[in-house]
Structure 1
Amino acid sequence: MTETPATLSACPNWTYLLREFAEMYRLGSAGGSQKIRGHQHRVRQAISRAVTANAEIIARPPEDKPVTMHLRRALDQGRHDRMESVVRAIDAVLPQLSWLYGYDKMPRGLDQKYAYAEIAGPQGPVQTQEVILGLVLFAPKTTYPSHAHEGLTESYYTLSGAVSENDDGVFAPGSMIFNPPGRAHRITTGDHEPTLLAYAWEGSGPALLGQKMTFARVKKGRA
């Protein structure tokens, strides 16, 4: 007998988390940028369609990584800031998250300081072909090497901690980092606290399905 897949209507905590993502992309400022505003709108619409369609839930085996020893601190810090409601919704699905690396080859030491967990996308847990939503956790004093996503528009919201991208300012909780397709970006985190980010990737279905995560090669003589 074939087991009927679970759906959002039977898993309210996933639905609440999706709605928190949608609210984050509704309330977050676009800073006057039409490109950012358009990205926010497309992410919200993709989430709305997944909820309306009562998307299937594909359970992944829960999995931790070394960096998840910092997760409780990151969540606790997030409860004291403007992203509190998102953080509480994440906490409700915490036992079901699978923390991954996403790379075949990792720079030395990064496997101790980084991991991500998907919330929605072609690979689940919430099934959708229109957007990928997830979380990224960094330990203090992390450098995440330069990389780019071809064919995808990417954004991060800082949930706790602080992060800098390409040394262009510091993004505190509530801030958005926006990367158009193909833009190379390098991430660094603060010295004393972990950083938790929520992210969204949006683009064509083939781009979402075929995205390969690779780091840029560093030329000899350059840091």
Structure 2
Amino acid sequence: MTPSADTAPRLTLRQLPDWRYLLQEYDELYRFLPAGGSDKIAGHQRKVREAISRLIRTNAPVTPQPKADKPVTAHLRRALDEGRQGVLAPVIRALDVVAPDLSWQYGYERVPKGLQDTFAYAEIAGGTGPVVSTEIILGVVLFGPGCTYPAHAHHGITESYVCLSGAVSENHQGVYVPGSMIFNPPQHLHRITVGKREPALLAYAWIGAPEDLHEQRMIFSRPRK
């Protein structure tokens, strides 16, 4: 008799160590990237590390997601290859191992105009997996060349991006290259633009109350006027 989904043994980080190795690399990102003297950024980095540590220590369950690609994932190989030459190559190598199992999503019921071909994200940890967590969402976002990600904000979510390859600008107020961190506190309106020659691959972390994490994805939201 074949076990049902409810009775089949749950897979964990120990049984699927490639996901654990990737979590370890995220921990390294948030342990050694500088906070630039900002207490708020340093505090966020600490919360991300603590959440990752708990996932590893408790041998968190892993629920593989159905593989899904989007048009922008045609640029993924280029983004990974470019990142392999940079300062965050260990993260790129760990990400490359699980790349065939990533489920790339839009996070929109109706995708904003211009994003269908130039944007997608894949979660690494979150409420629905692959690594199951209710206290943090980790993932990667891929932007195609020339992408403009519209201005948006997140309710109750503290967000950070780490640039793995390519270059992006946020709110036209700085250029972020591999090894750079972007920090967005809750309700902070931010818009991302990407250069026209290369894709950009960013790791991200969301910290917030479980109910806020559960209710949000990479969604487009404007503050009320």
TM-score, structure 2 length as denominator?
0.95
Distance 1:178 1:36 in 2: 7
**Could you tell me which residue of structure 2 aligns to residue 100 of structure 1?**
105
Distance 2:105 2:61 in 1: 21
For 1:154, give the aligned amino acid: E
TM-score, structure 1 length as denominator?
0.96
Deviation at 1:216, TM superposition (A): 2.6
Q: In the alignment, is the contact (CA less than 8 A) between 1:145 and 1:216 conserved in 2?
A: no
Distance 2:37 2:14 in 1: 36
**Could you tell me which residue of structure 2 aligns to residue 167 of structure 1?**
172
Q: How does 1:207-218 map to 2 (within 5 A)?
A: 207-211=212-216, 213-216=219-222
The runs of 5 or more residues in structure 2 that have no matched partner are none
SS in 2 for 1:181: coil
Q: In the alignment, is the contact (CA less than 8 A) between 2:154 and 2:221 conserved in 1?
A: no
- Count of residues paired in the alignment: 219
Deviation at 1:215, TM superposition (A): 3.6
**Could you tell me which residue of structure 1 aligns to residue 63 of structure 2?**
58
For 1:178, give the aligned amino acid: F
For 2:156, give the aligned amino acid: G
Q: How does 1:57-206 map to 2 (within 5 A)?
A: 57-206=62-211
2:11 is the counterpart of 1:6: yes
- Shifted more, 156-165 versus 123-132: the winner is 123-132
Deviation at 1:124, TM superposition (A): 0.7
Q: In the alignment, is the contact (CA less than 8 A) between 1:145 and 1:215 conserved in 2?
A: no
**Could you tell me which residue of structure 1 aligns to residue 39 of structure 2?**
34
Residues 45-89 of structure 1: CA distance to partner in whole angstroms, max 9, x if unpaired? 000000000000111110100000000000000000001000000
Distance 1:133 1:60 in 2: 14
SS in 2 for 1:47: helix
Identical positions, percent? 57
The runs of 5 or more residues in structure 1 that have no matched partner are none
The alignment's C-alpha RMSD in Å is: 1.4
SS in 2 for 1:100: coil
